[in-house]
Amino acid sequence: MTTPKKLKIGLIGGGPGSFIGAIHLNGALMDGMFEVVAGAFSSNPEKSKQRGEELMLDPNRVYGSYDEMFAKELALPESERIDVVVIVTPNNVHFDPAVKALKNGFHVALDKPLTLNYQEAKELYHIVKSSDKRFLLTHTYSGYPMIKQAKQMIANGEIGKVRKVYVEYPQGWLFKLLESEDNKQAQWRTDPKRNGLAGCMGDIGTHAFHMAEYVTGEKVAQICADLYIKIPGRPIDDDGVVLMRFENGASGVLMASQTDTGAENNLKVRVYGEKGGLEWEQELNNTLLVRWPEGPDQVYRAGTGYLGSMAQENSRTPAGHPEGYVEAFANLYRNFARCIYADRAGQKPKPEWEDYPGVEDGIRGMAFIDHVLKSNVSDQKWTPFVVEK
């Protein structure tokens, strides 16, 4: 599709030294569809200025707050102002800038989870639905080519009706009380006022939950949760297990921990159906293992010509040239941009382009957090999974 101009990004968050802000920008800029022209990079104006200098931006478009950015960008001619607001702040600063961005006519890309709490999520859901702007929620792992291959194979019935789903997300970086050692990432992610009332389950459990539903195409109907605080002195969970029952009758197990000492970031998904099974792990993300009951295992590899259309659409290099985390982000941003361009041209986007997570995924993720917290303290344990909007 011909692109008349690059989409202009105004970034909120992602100040000096930010990990996730840099990853978002690397992914967004990879395909040449976006450019960063403005930002409110920190609530500290000096830090915002510093990050603007690092990105070599016009100082007049480096702002001390997102409210200032919206006001001054709207005063510019439409051809010059930002098109997309990218929000990479702690969870307590998701709702307000997202709402204001949409109401001011900007597309929004937001780091997950959707909001700080379920009530905010329901409000934002309706604002997104009433807007004519595109909304991206960066559940990164859905951008991997071999995850898309697994999703398409299951949707095509290649492993039959899904019977069992396992998702596990082991991390070990919070194996000790890092938040007492001036670790800013640990401080906000373990603070219920900035992260939300679920710790590990809100931070990475939502990724695992999204993966379970995204890959299988099935929706969770009931959950039974057991949460733990492994490190004394921490106010919210850092480890947990969730049993799941799906609407189609399948059962599932979700495990997430940030205190699995020595573990890095190996999100794993295993899905077993009536005819066969699929296995994928993030640390070997270019491989999809397919298991058959009456034949040898098959190893599917990214970048090969035998993959389905969804994997092909989201592959960037030939087989044997590893793609990874940043490319998964880039796939989400590229599909997001393609849909914006299609909308502007009055065209219907390809289904493969519209395959990026949005507000529907976001509200289900917040419902997951809400139901997990309720189930954890319930005597009955099994909790119906109902998404209120």
Number of domains in the chain: 2
Residue 233 lies in a domain: yes
Which single residue is written with the structure tokens 């695992």?
Answer: 208
Residue 282 lies in a domain: yes
What CATH number is given to the structural domain containing 231?
A: 3.30.360.10
Residue 54 lies in a domain: yes
How large a percentage of the chain has pLDDT more than 90? 97
**Amino acid found at 147:** I
Q: What is the pLDDT of residues 298-355, one digit of tens each?
A: 999 999 999 999 999 999 999 999 999 999 999 999 999 999 999 999 999 999 999 9
Across the chain, what does the average pLDDT equal? 96
From 107, 124, 141, give the residue that closes a domain: 141
3-class state of residue 361 by DSSP: helix
From 141, 157, 182, give the residue that closes a domain: 141
Q: What is the C-alpha separation between 358 and 361, in angstroms, rounded?
A: 6
95 with 216, same domain: the answer is no
Residue 348 lies in a domain: no
125 with 202, same domain: the answer is no
71 with 209, same domain: the answer is no
275 with 313, same domain: the answer is yes
149 with 292, same domain: the answer is yes
Residue 352 lies in a domain: no
What CATH number is given to the structural domain containing 130?
A: 3.40.50.720
Residue 302 lies in a domain: yes
How large a percentage of the chain has pLDDT more than 70? 99
161 with 128, same domain: the answer is no
Residue 290's pLDDT band (boundaries 50, 70, 90)? very high
| CB-based burial label for 306 (10 Å; 0-12, 13-18, 19+) | exposed
3-class state of residue 268 by DSSP: strand
Residue 141, pLDDT above cutoff 60: yes
Residue 17's pLDDT band (boundaries 50, 70, 90)? confident
Residue 205 lies in a domain: yes
180 with 206, same domain: the answer is yes
Q: What is the pLDDT of residues 90-129, one digit of tens each?
A: 999 999 999 999 999 999 999 999 999 999 999 999 999 9
From 104, 125, 141, give the residue that closes a domain: 141
Which single residue is written with the structure tokens 């982000």?
Answer: 329
Number of neighbouring beta carbons within 10 Å of residue 257: 25
Q: Which of 200, 259, 267 is nearest to 230 (CA)?
A: 259
End-to-end CA distance of the chain: 35
Residue 4, pLDDT above cutoff 80: no
233 with 313, same domain: the answer is yes
Q: What is the pLDDT of residues 162-191, one digit of tens each?
A: 999 999 999 999 999 999 998 999 999 999
By residue range, what is the domain housing residue 15? 7-141
Residue 2's pLDDT band (boundaries 50, 70, 90)? low
Q: What is the C-alpha separation between 84 and 343, in angstroms, rounded?
A: 14
What pLDDT, on the 0 to 100 scale, is given for residue 208?
Answer: 98
Q: How far is Cα of residue 320 from the mean position of the Cα atoms in its chain?
A: 26
20 with 37, same domain: the answer is yes
Residue 338 lies in a domain: no
What pLDDT, on the 0 to 100 scale, is given for residue 3?
Answer: 52
63 with 147, same domain: the answer is no
85 with 170, same domain: the answer is no
291 with 235, same domain: the answer is yes
Q: What is the pLDDT of residues 210-266, one digit of tens each?
A: 999 999 999 999 999 999 999 999 999 999 999 999 999 999 999 999 999 999 999
Q: What is the pLDDT of residues 39-86, one digit of tens each?
A: 999 999 999 999 999 999 999 999 999 999 999 999 999 999 999 999
Q: What is the C-alpha separation between 69 and 266, in angstroms, rounded?
A: 37
What pLDDT, on the 0 to 100 scale, is given for residue 381?
Answer: 85
pTM: 0.95
